[in-house]
Structure 1
Amino acid sequence: METFERLVSSLNGLVWGLPMLVLILGTGLYLMLGLRLMPLRNIGRAFTMLLAGRRGEGEGDISPFQALMTSLSATIGTGNIAGVATAIALGGPGALFWMWCTALVGMATKYAEAVCAVHYRERDANGDFCGGPMYYIKNGLPSHWRWLAVAFALFGAIAGFGIGNSVQANSVADALDSSFGIDPRITGFCLLVAVAAVVLGGVRRIAEVAGVLVPLMAALYLIAGLIIIIGSLGELPAVIALVFESAFTGTAATGGFAGAAVWAAIRFGVARGIFSNEAGLGSAPIAHAAAKTDSPVGQGMVAMLGTFIDTLIVCSITGFVILLSGAWTSGENGAALSAAAFDQLLPGGQYVVSIGLVLFAFTTILGWSYYCERCVVYLFGVKAELPFRLLWVAAVPLGALANLELIWLVADTLNAMMALPNLIALLLLSPVVFRLTREYRATNRA
């Protein structure tokens, strides 16, 4: 077992090393330039489209709004609380700047993913829409690339049980145990019941729950963070200056913080940013492929908001609270650092973090269940839907009680390996994305 763990650890360091970070950021930058900065220039319009088309127009299973909420349910998770704290604890305040950069170019990546997902989607044997990297590889690229689709589906089906299920259930159990003294066995059983009630109903029920829960939980977390930031408004300019300065000069050792070079800020900021917003991993377009829309470009504009909301809004709130509190120099890490920061500046702040972590992790379990299900259906057909859902529900209480160090390592490695087929496909299909975007703009001008 130790040999296997060392092997996986080595592979993890390879797939999440400099080449992967360059590939993800490079793909996003290439797409952003190829789109002539369209995602950045149309953020306001995208929000208008999202609010105006809550029900959707065209064929699909769920509304564009529900598609975004479903993707956000999987995206807004432990990365927004523990991930941001880890980036700052290991990379210094400058890591937050590199998270922002990852999100800005990631908007173009998420846009392109959704455009391809809707353009190349198809119906399964039950008549439901299905799409995502495996389908735009299958339907958009020559047949000799088909193995990439199988690889993506295989990596996604396995990785989801770790990063989207067991790890999230464990985070919920740990948060409730540390803050409220609730036995993890009780948490595991309650999670099993709650997840089963939603997941067994399929994508429509997941979308309905996500459409209510995601805006609610995000709003509550943001309100708590904004109360802290407004209360420390005079110190905010200095904190922002520290973020920019540290991004290019590194951070000296102070208190319990060991110090971090510029490369550490870039490495941990980019890696945690990608983990948080999932731009380039190929997960979110699976949800957007089910949207009721006849416009791949329109859904792409809605999809890119996921990266904006997740990293530039939610992660920024967490990061600012951590830096304003000064807790980042304490030597704490992960969710414990976020909890300490909130508790220092807001009475009962640790409970805000704990409840936020519970809600974020729960919705991540729901969102990733759909992602994994579509991967399994691609590999084995619709007959695998019910067995998969039952297996997914059964894995939840096991995750709540297990020691997950190895599972986390394997899932994190497979998560990176999901990105490889997806990024290759996006680069090869980029001319299609650029053409559809030009046609959409020409039609709207006319």
Structure 2
Amino acid sequence: MDALGNFFDTLDSMLGGSVWFPYVLLGVGLFFTIYLKFPQVRYFKHAVRIVSGKYDKKSHQGDTTHFQALSTALSGTVGTGNIGGVALAISIGGPAALFWMWMTAFFGMTTKFVEVTLSHKYREKTEDGTMAGGPMYYMDKRLNMKWLAILFAIATVISSFGTGSLPQINNIAQGMEATFGFEPMATGAVLSILLALVILGGIKRIAAITSKIVPLMAAVYVIGALLVIFYNIENIGPSFASVFTEAFTGSAAAGGFLGASFAYAFNRGVNRGLFSNEAGQGSAPIAHASAKADEPVSEGMVSILEPFIDTIIICTLTGLVILSSGVWNEKFDTHFERSSMTVLQGNYSDQSDEDRTDLYNYLNGNGSDVAPYNGTINVINGKAINKDFTILHSRSVAEDLRFGITERHVYTGEVEVKDGQIVDDSISVMGKSLVHSAELTTKAFTRGFLGDNGKYIVSIGLLLFAFSTAIAWSYYGDRAMTYLLGSRSVMPYRVFYVAGFFWASFADTTLVWKLAAVAIVVMTLPNLFGIMLLRKEMKDSVKDYWQKLEKDKSN
């Protein structure tokens, strides 16, 4: 697992974690925002009217209504990224990461407008009579780049696991275990059966279910978040201030948080923003291709609402809950995940300015004398005897360390460490450290009017959010398989999808997130390349849409 985690880290450093990727993603959104004259602002009101059904006609071809298509696409984006993803971004990038999530969403509203319009324009009807669309169709039919279309479709299948299946159930299982004590494998088994029953019904059943789940889950989560925010209302001002003041400087050390450079906060904020709203990834166009509409631009305008709802509203609420409650820089007793843990040579303290500086430089790649530990830790009754090492977990200095075979059985003996990693996988480590992902959000929701009962809001919200995301992404994957190998390949794909969903319920959390980070970027780059090539056609399509609308009004 350590080797696999390191492999994903290497890929991520070359792709989503690279210096250039956030600039490419934001750059494309910024370009289209200026090129199309801020459509996310100018067309927002019109988009709401379209979703309300004002322009619907029975003669329009498609499988779903505008609202159902929006709900399906939202169910694909509103998931663990809004609960666990925001928490992960803040835990590693500080408050500044939230600012860059906002920027990703604002410019992403335009990016999504473009990708959905073009994908809807070149959709086609399949052998079974349903609509199929997505970036692979405009790449093939309009750009005549079948190789690019195939690359995108393959990346979509991979990303359906990395974005839609694996991290979703992983966070659900983690939340259900923390809140109700349910075994992750049992949670995975029950939800895998439910998932199979839903996705076998195809897009119409998926759309019918998601159009009911999305409004319900949003209402429950928003109310719960507001109860925490108003309880900590005196901290809202400072929280907002930290988001803006640290946006271009990075986040300073605070509490157990060792600090994050501007580059790190910027990169993680943009990366998590993409995972949350998927603008530019090319996933939402697959859902919108099923919508009943004769004007692709109108469906593109509907998609403008997605990043706004997903990131500007829901992710912001999550971020404010975490920041105002103060849990983001507090240490909690937790079980250490191997892929989030590093053993360092020497004894460091986050109470020492000198040590904090050394660790900050080490974590942010600024050059440091801090080195991984190589040697043996002597343990008696779960406690380390030698003090020549420091464990970092979740980018914080771990305290009150306990070594065990399980959480209930302490360990006595020697613990071999090589290059900062414990060699024996059977030895677990527990103690106090910062936490991240869904666990951090759960802690934050207990700091409101509901007290400890607030954790149930996260568990219920996470269950609904993540499960609906897994449903939507199964559809994205089966449309990609339809393009690649035809309709007969859909059923085998669904079997593998459900099996992967079950496996991830008890897999390493951080490892799953690392896979997701890589899969997203592999899918995004071909799509951004494709829509840039069709920029002029997009502009002409918008112009033609408004001319037709004006003509219809005059008639």
Q: In which range does the TM-score fall when normalised by the shorter chain? A: over 0.9
Q: Quote the Cα distance in structure 1 between the aligned partners of 2:243 and 2:508.
A: 35
Q: Quote the Cα distance in structure 2 between the aligned partners of 1:70 and 1:56.
A: 20
Letter in 2 for 1:422: N
Q: Is the 8 A contact 1:283 1:371 kept in 2?
A: yes
Equivalent of residue 141 in structure 2, options 139, 142, 152: 139
Q: Which residue of 2 aligns with 1:261?
A: 261
Alignment of 1:44-443 (within 5 A): 44-53=45-54, 58-141=60-143, 143=144, 145-330=145-330, 331-346=434-449, 347=451, 348-403=453-508, 406=511, 408-443=513-548
Q: Is the 8 A contact 1:56 1:63 kept in 2?
A: no
Q: Quote the Cα distance in structure 2 between the aligned partners of 1:411 and 1:322.
A: 23
Q: Is the 8 A contact 1:172 1:358 kept in 2?
A: yes
Alpha-carbon shift at residue 395 of structure 1 (Å): 2.9
What is the TM-score normalised by the length of structure 1?
A: 0.95
Q: Which runs of 5+ in 2 are unaligned?
A: 331-433
Q: Quote the Cα distance in structure 2 between the aligned partners of 1:53 and 1:110.
A: 22
Q: Quote the Cα distance in structure 2 between the aligned partners of 1:146 and 1:325.
A: 50
1:66 partner SS = helix
Q: Quote the Cα distance in structure 1 between the aligned partners of 2:174 and 2:326.
A: 25
Q: Residues 99 and 3 (structure 1 numbering): CA distance in 2 closer, same or farther, change over 3 Å?
A: closer
Q: Quote the Cα distance in structure 2 between the aligned partners of 1:196 and 1:4.
A: 29
Q: Is the 8 A contact 2:84 2:171 kept in 1?
A: no
Q: Which residue of 1 aligns with 2:383?
A: none
Letter in 1 for 2:37: R
2:291 partner SS = coil
| Cα distance per residue 1:80-126 (max 9 Å; x no partner) | 01111111122111211111111000000000011011111111111
Alpha-carbon shift at residue 226 of structure 1 (Å): 1.9
Alpha-carbon shift at residue 5 of structure 1 (Å): 5.0
What is the TM-score normalised by the length of structure 2?
A: 0.77
Q: Is the 8 A contact 1:84 1:272 kept in 2?
A: yes
| Cα distance per residue 1:64-88 (max 9 Å; x no partner) | 1111111111111111011111111
Q: Quote the Cα distance in structure 1 between the aligned partners of 2:230 and 2:516.
A: 38
Letter in 1 for 2:50: M
Q: Is the 8 A contact 1:54 1:63 kept in 2?
A: no
Shifted more, 416-425 versus 435-444: the winner is 435-444
Q: Which residue of 2 aligns with 1:34?
A: 35
Q: Is the 8 A contact 1:169 1:361 kept in 2?
A: yes
Q: Residues 4 and 351 (structure 1 numbering): CA distance in 2 closer, same or farther, change over 3 Å?
A: closer
Q: Residues 397 and 55 (structure 1 numbering): CA distance in 2 closer, same or farther, change over 3 Å?
A: farther
Q: Quote the Cα distance in structure 1 between the aligned partners of 2:88 and 2:242.
A: 17
Q: Which residue of 2 aligns with 1:12?
A: 12
Q: Is the 8 A contact 1:95 1:269 kept in 2?
A: yes
Letter in 2 for 1:131: G
Q: Residues 47 and 234 (structure 1 numbering): CA distance in 2 closer, same or farther, change over 3 Å?
A: farther
Which structure ranks higher in relative contact order (CA pairs < 8 Å, sequence separation ≥ 6)? 1
Shifted more, 290-299 versus 227-236: the winner is 227-236
Alpha-carbon shift at residue 405 of structure 1 (Å): 5.1
The structure carrying a bigger helix percent of its residues is 1
Q: Quote the Cα distance in structure 1 between the aligned partners of 2:176 and 2:188.
A: 11
Alpha-carbon shift at residue 382 of structure 1 (Å): 0.9
Letter in 1 for 2:477: C
| Cα distance per residue 1:318-357 (max 9 Å; x no partner) | 0111111111221332222211111012321122112211
Letter in 2 for 1:123: K
Q: Which runs of 5+ in 1 are unaligned?
A: none
Alpha-carbon shift at residue 291 of structure 1 (Å): 0.4
Q: Which residue of 1 aligns with 2:415?
A: none
Alpha-carbon shift at residue 406 of structure 1 (Å): 4.7
Letter in 1 for 2:113: Y
Please identify the structure whose Cα radius of gyration is greater: 2
Q: Residues 192 and 253 (structure 1 numbering): CA distance in 2 closer, same or farther, change over 3 Å?
A: same
1:247 partner SS = coil
Q: Quote the Cα distance in structure 2 between the aligned partners of 1:173 and 1:345.
A: 24
Q: Residues 54 and 392 (structure 1 numbering): CA distance in 2 closer, same or farther, change over 3 Å?
A: farther
Q: Quote the Cα distance in structure 1 between the aligned partners of 2:74 and 2:187.
A: 23
Alpha-carbon shift at residue 2 of structure 1 (Å): 6.3
1:345 partner SS = coil
2:247 partner SS = helix
Q: Residues 43 and 5 (structure 1 numbering): CA distance in 2 closer, same or farther, change over 3 Å?
A: same
Alpha-carbon shift at residue 412 of structure 1 (Å): 2.7
Q: Quote the Cα distance in structure 2 between the aligned partners of 1:2 and 1:221.
A: 35
Letter in 1 for 2:121: H
| Cα distance per residue 1:187-214 (max 9 Å; x no partner) | 1221122112210000110000000001
Q: Is the 8 A contact 1:53 1:65 kept in 2?
A: no
Shifted more, 315-324 versus 351-360: the winner is 351-360
Q: Quote the Cα distance in structure 2 between the aligned partners of 1:193 and 1:235.
A: 43
| Cα distance per residue 1:167-196 (max 9 Å; x no partner) | 222221221111101122321221122112
Shifted more, 165-174 versus 3-12: the winner is 3-12
| Cα distance per residue 1:250-301 (max 9 Å; x no partner) | 3221111112222222111111111110111111100001100111111111
Q: Is the 8 A contact 1:70 1:207 kept in 2?
A: yes
Q: Is the 8 A contact 2:228 2:325 kept in 1?
A: no
Alpha-carbon shift at residue 367 of structure 1 (Å): 0.6
Shifted more, 50-59 versus 77-86: the winner is 50-59
| Cα distance per residue 1:416-437 (max 9 Å; x no partner) | 1111110110100111111111
Shifted more, 159-168 versus 90-99: the winner is 159-168
Q: Residues 272 and 410 (structure 1 numbering): CA distance in 2 closer, same or farther, change over 3 Å?
A: closer
Letter in 1 for 2:202: G
1:137 partner SS = helix
